[in-house]
Amino acid sequence: MSQFIAAIEACMDDDISMDPKALWVGTPGSFVTLDGDSEKYPKAARALVEKYRPLIHKALRAITEEMGVELVSTSHTGCGAMGIQGVTQSSEVASVTEKFAKDNPDIPKYVGHVSSSPDNVLNLGANASAHVFIDRKEDSHEHSAYGLVFTTGGFISGEEMARLELGTLEHVHELQEANEVVKSEPSLHKYFVVTVDAMKRVVSQEGGSKEEIVAILSFIKNLAETIIQGTLEHKHHGEKVELPKLRVVTFDAQRLPNDSQENEAIAQEVMKS
């Protein structure tokens, strides 16, 4: 029996407070893609996400099954990836994500919406539940990320995430140091979470292109830094600020010994792209 209650695809949002006993599978907006084209979520990026989403979810399911946990999906209030696609209100984010999961069989089972209530609980079924909430005001888009973590060796649990934020987590490898615009802002102290855990298998077992996987991850990294730029400009009353460079690290939980080294190499390629 696994020591974890579930693997939760819970967006990559830096302000998610994850149940200590749950694994966090970080993707932008749970990989929900909607029609449209914007500077922040261009058609080319959406086309790549839509091409690879089924393959990524297939590999993620295989990994979580091996680990003895169920892979499930959620939505959450103030979702930046949904916001840049025109969906901003909490109730709409929840309904759109739930419908998207029903219409797209590759999406893991939708288990509910994550609100800003510290008492928010996701019902996982079989008398299991997970305590997950957003640590900011309802429908707020003011993020607090100092960094971004690529998980490479079996995701990151809520308990491990707390140690990463404290600076006491082991098996963390820094790929990029934060720049001054990030270092000088005291409100920035958390991490976006992006799963790379399945990418080796997507390439080696599902025939995926490493170059296209790197392009997806590069888009996600750039999206995270754009979200923080928007937060800082809002704090400075619309004044233009330097494009932030978040601290970027990888975390190898050492739960995927046959995959983590190649996943790490993919994350390193992202930083060169």
pLDDT tens-digit readout, 183-198: 999 989 999 999 999 9
Cα torsion angle, 146, 226, 31, 94, sign:
positive
**CA angle (141 as vertex; 223, 238 as ends), nearest 5:** 85
pLDDT tens-digit readout, 32-56: 999 876 788 889 999 999 999 999 9
* DSSP state at residue 196: -
pTM of the full predicted structure? Answer: 0.95
- Please, which residues bridge with residue 114 across strands? 76
The two structure tokens encoding residue 231: 């937060």
Contact status, residue 176 vs residue 247, Cβ threshold 8 Å: yes
Spatial separation of the C-alpha atoms in residues 93 and 29, rounded to whole Å: 9
Q: Round the average pLDDT of the chain to a whole number and report it.
A: 93
pLDDT recorded at residue 1 = 63
pLDDT recorded at residue 90 = 85
Burial class (CB in 10 A: 0-12, 13-18, 19+), 200: buried
Spatial separation of the C-alpha atoms in residues 80 and 273, rounded to whole Å: 23
